[in-house]
Homo-oligomer: A and B are copies of this chain.
């Protein structure tokens, strides 16, 4: 399943409206098929892996990061049916599919066909990779990541507004990778006007990853940018399951105040600035209420900077 989860990440940011799924087919200890959801959402991971395995799939085990879909679509047959037809003997699943068209039905079809099932294997990791899809299905809104590039004292810029650069090359390259993995990049109007950021993906080989670029503003957005009037408009976005909010402090604070941030990416440089803080008021009633909301995930070194990731836990 570890290899299957890794494979599934190839599709992150490119598979909308479908989730980025991975599938590995193993027979007699050998991998005979590998698939991941292709750009635009089709073919599904199972279809790609089954095509590679071809006749050898008979009697094999399929590892898949999401419950195989149960519903036929104009864009292709249901994966549960394809696995049955191919003669797969055993299916190992990470996460159940919350989509009501499949939810449990995919597994039921496989079981009815006599296929041996193991479910829930490394489910939290699978759900994290497909966070946008799960957010959409369960909460009817995109999964929102807030990115902050800060000094040790929490400044995102000097008081003059100078913000180039707090973090170094490697941290900024990593932030571009995060852009490539997002369906939509969101900035506040102030940041757009003050910094005119180029919100593209500047990583060799990934230049074609072009997330939707949105600006939150009470006034119309410049040509080519999606306009979101307010936070409610964000919840109403239907063509992006993952949003990367890049600043500035007003946008960041409003997202935190509205409890809309699911993941926090903190790029930290070992410098002191004494400048503009990362967040303005977030409507906190008292300090006790600030605790118990964020769990740390991995910390990675990016040159002399560090990236800390936090996940919402309540």
- B-contacting residues of A (Cβ < 8 Å)? 148, 150-155, 158-159, 162-166, 253, 256-257, 264, 266, 269-275, 277-282, 284, 286-287, 290-291, 293-296, 308, 310
Chain B residues whose C-beta falls within 8 Å of the C-beta of A154 in the assembled complex: 150-155, 277-278
Known: A152-B266, A153-B148, A155-B154. A284 touches B279 (CB 8 A): no
Contact present for B162 and A286 (CB under 8 Å): yes
Chain B residues whose C-beta falls within 8 Å of the C-beta of A295 in the assembled complex: 270
Contact present for A253 and B282 (CB under 8 Å): no
Residue of B nearest to A277 (CB): B277
Chain B residues whose C-beta falls within 8 Å of the C-beta of A296 in the assembled complex: 270
Given the complex of chains A and B, what is the CA–CA distance between A293 and B155 in angstroms?
16
Contact present for A264 and B152 (CB under 8 Å): yes
Residue of B nearest to A285 (CB): B158
Which of B158, B294, B310 meets A284, CB within 8 Å?
B158
Copies held by the complex: 2
Shortest A255–chain B CB gap in Å is 10
Known: A152-B294, A153-B150, A294-B152. A274 touches B284 (CB 8 A): yes
Chain B residues whose C-beta falls within 8 Å of the C-beta of A150 in the assembled complex: 153-154
Given the complex of chains A and B, what is the CA–CA distance between A264 and B271 in angstroms?
11
Given the complex of chains A and B, what is the CA–CA distance between A152 and B293 in angstroms?
12
Contact present for B277 and A290 (CB under 8 Å): no
Given the complex of chains A and B, what is the CA–CA distance between A166 and B294 in angstroms?
14
Residue of B nearest to A278 (CB): B153
Given the complex of chains A and B, what is the CA–CA distance between A295 and B306 in angstroms?
12
Contact present for A273 and B293 (CB under 8 Å): no
Residue of B nearest to A266 (CB): B152
Residue of B nearest to A293 (CB): B271
Known: A279-B153, A294-B270. A287 touches B148 (CB 8 A): no
Known: A153-B277, A155-B154. A282 touches B291 (CB 8 A): no
Contact present for B294 and A272 (CB under 8 Å): yes
Contact present for B271 and A158 (CB under 8 Å): no
Chain B residues whose C-beta falls within 8 Å of the C-beta of A271 in the assembled complex: 287, 290-291, 293-294
Residue of B nearest to A148 (CB): B153
Which of B162, B165, B166, B282 meets A273, CB within 8 Å?
B282
Chain B residues whose C-beta falls within 8 Å of the C-beta of A155 in the assembled complex: 154, 277, 279
Residue of B nearest to A166 (CB): B287
Known: A154-B153, A165-B287, A287-B162. A274 touches B282 (CB 8 A): yes
Contact present for B273 and A279 (CB under 8 Å): yes
Chain B residues whose C-beta falls within 8 Å of the C-beta of A253 in the assembled complex: 274
Which of A257, A278, A310 has the largest count of B CB atoms less than 10 A from its CB? A278
Which of A257, A275, A308 has the largest count of B CB atoms less than 10 A from its CB? A275
Which of A166, A266, A272 has the largest count of B CB atoms less than 10 A from its CB? A272
Which of B264, B279, B282, B287 meets A163, CB within 8 Å?
B287
Contact present for B279 and A291 (CB under 8 Å): no
Chain B residues whose C-beta falls within 8 Å of the C-beta of A281 in the assembled complex: 159, 274-275
Chain B residues whose C-beta falls within 8 Å of the C-beta of A310 in the assembled complex: 152, 270
